[in-house]
Structure 1
């Protein structure tokens, strides 16, 4: 279970997130929409532990991680979170297979089994024949699909996706949204999708709107 209670975050003394509260049950997948600049990406970064809240509670399966030390927070992100960044963050010196297996290697689960998991997910995002390609050989949409495969490969407890279909054509957007939803629901994980796309938002179980006053839904 994910529990967020009265979360606040400000930059340069300007409130960005105010009184954010959200509860997700295992298997639940929500979409968050809102105007540009309202703080959707900031909210995901705070939930991921990449930025710390100024106050509020963030608890995953009962563990309040808002105030964890950096080492413990790094372990939590490695073991329990999957994040699809807008900027992809695909490592240029690794092949696509190696990029996707990286979360498994970091958990000590590398080897042939990890390669098979990566191949399965690359196939699911339509890149089965590109496993040995290098990131420099990909389009932006293809890198986005690799990022989605990497975020899911270790069956994270919580999946956070920031505009995951922004660089995709309609066919591949539908493919990855279906994959995200299926993986989250069948694994009993939890998912938060930030999107401007009404079609993407409709793939979730419920849709919330982020406003300057908080989350509405």
Structure 2
């Protein structure tokens, strides 16, 4: 379970000037939400706060009963490695690693053996339709293929929470739809919690529900 309670984040030269406030949200394993909103309202900042990458002015973020806002930085880093997966618009594949190595990276960081990590990575590449491309380099892939590798990497260690920041922003609608199907299928199959930040109505339609971030919290997006 993810429980966000009365979260607030400030900005600007005046202490306490809110970027957003009164943000509350509860999500169960296997559930996903799309968060939309105007540019500059703080959608990506909210994701960073949930991941423990930025401090909050007030509120609590609990994942599986653990209060992330009270953890020391070292403990937060360990929790991110174990429990969180990330999918970004810019893919962020490491160019000097093969596809198998890119996908295996979260498992290596958790101390898994090279053999086990490679088996898991190959299985994930098969799930995203790239089973025969494991020894290729990221530069050999299309944008849609790179995002499929990024999804495999985000899910390979079976995280409790998957955070997605405009994951299809660089893709045409056809490739975007294929990538979104893989992403949300993977989130539901692994019973992860999924949070998607997007401007795209297509992307939002894949989530279980859609909310809009405003300065004063999250509100349901009109149908």
Please, which runs of 5 or more residues in structure 2 have no aligned partner? none
Scaled by the length of structure 2, what TM-score is found?
0.90
Contact 1:27/1:187, CA 8 A, preserved across alignment? yes
Q: CA deviation at 1:106?
A: 1.1
Please, which runs of 5 or more residues in structure 1 have no aligned partner? none
Partners in 1 of 2:78 and 2:101 — Cα distance?
20
Report whether the alignment pairs 1:214 with 2:217: yes
1:53 aligned residue: 56
- Pair 1:124–1:106, CA change in 2 (3 A): same
Contact 1:144/1:167, CA 8 A, preserved across alignment? no
1:161 aligned residue: 164
Partners in 1 of 2:173 and 2:32 — Cα distance?
21
1:31 aligned residue: 34
Partners in 2 of 1:119 and 1:172 — Cα distance?
22
Partners in 1 of 2:166 and 2:152 — Cα distance?
15
Partners in 1 of 2:6 and 2:174 — Cα distance?
38
Q: CA deviation at 1:90?
A: 1.8
- Pair 1:206–1:64, CA change in 2 (3 A): same
Among residues 184, 205, 215, which one is paired with 1:202 in the alignment?
205
Q: CA deviation at 1:3?
A: 0.5
Alignment RMSD = 1.7
- Comparing 123-132 with 146-155, greater Cα deviation is found at 123-132
1:3 aligned residue: 3
Q: CA deviation at 1:129?
A: 3.2
Between the two proteins, the alignment pairs up a number of residues equal to 217
- Comparing 108-117 with 20-29, greater Cα deviation is found at 108-117
Contact 1:29/1:205, CA 8 A, preserved across alignment? yes
Among residues 186, 190, 197, which one is paired with 1:187 in the alignment?
190
Q: CA deviation at 1:139?
A: 4.0
| Deviant stretches of 4+, over 4 Å | none
